[in-house]
Structure 1
């Protein structure tokens, strides 16, 4: 248990930097680590992916608060966008998380691997849609929030890999998009966590220390460290060439995706 807690703390430290730097919740790092650790802790194979996804979303609640506060202090959060997108985020993520708890583990693993490869390709190409329009109205923004929330719940992320390109497409400056995405990660995490708790309630065979599909020890370790390091990531995002960092992170995600695919096959 002590070794696992140390691993959770290290994972959280890395996730916090990534969250502040790139505006993502860090689920692409958390989920593969938890999928590797949980079987050794007696988690039944049919619950490993769901428990990793639920725990990842729960930890993002704390990471996003720390990251969003740091971005807000620099004036890099568009709260008007936040207010419009949150209703869709809450509905999409909650029902997506609830649905995911009843999906086959194999489907969720394949979906996660495909998602890793997709965001890696986007980061390597640095492709952004031409910024030729403004943010849509309330219904359009809320509808996009529902889509972002649904996908985020299936892969245990804070939605930054989807919300940042969406906002930059709508002429929102990149640093503001990253800061706003960090704030959006909180309602995604809250709604997704509730979905995984409700969907995993009273499932037979889950190990002690779980609340539905949320592992409380892993949550504690990841959240404690990530809250401390997220402000560091924010400072780095305003001073370092994020394009190079994104490419390095993309290669890391490709490696993770290939390893998960190999284990799957």
Structure 2
């Protein structure tokens, strides 16, 4: 039995290293192919041009502005609700069967396929509330998608705050609200921001929920308000990849580069905030 365990311990590290290198190599192959195909297509005209039936004249202006609208509106809707819900569940809610059931369901909702949220958004926001296929309907739908992630991230960040910090605050006569706002949140804000940014970056790359609520593949105008119809970069990429002309595939590769760049920037900001938060912690 001991020999078997020793063999497993010896074989596991090289196997894990092989799996890591395999994933990295496949990712590099994908990135290199995308860069070769699409990098030469990215220029000012591509960024500032409207969609067109002619590949050489087509751009991503409506797509990236639509993604920007969706990102901002989703953040405005989901961040206050998610952070407040996480604070309430961690600091105020009492242990009960109902609260335990809610906590389990919130954790499980993070793993629900995104198309389910799209169908829910179509019925509730698109039809019952009459929002149709507008930016607001898409933002509400994506907010439902990322709310469980923000709530879980908020709770885990608050749990990481040492109990001694809270006890010292209470010992000095602070109320629960003063303890949360002056001590708990400042110490946990880095982890909360990291979870928020990563959830927003996930929302930017979603396609299925927005297609389900009726987001358009071809929008020849820039959205001016949350009640306008819209498209986003993932849908524009999907639309171009279905075209038979090779020039549209080049456009799709260029749009993928732009979308990856946005995602990498958001993830980089999340890493920076987390590291800065850890460096500034003084218990």
The TM-score normalised by the length of structure 1 is: 0.28
The TM-score normalised by the length of structure 2 is: 0.27
Pick 1 or 2: higher relative contact order, CA cutoff 8 A, min separation 6. 1
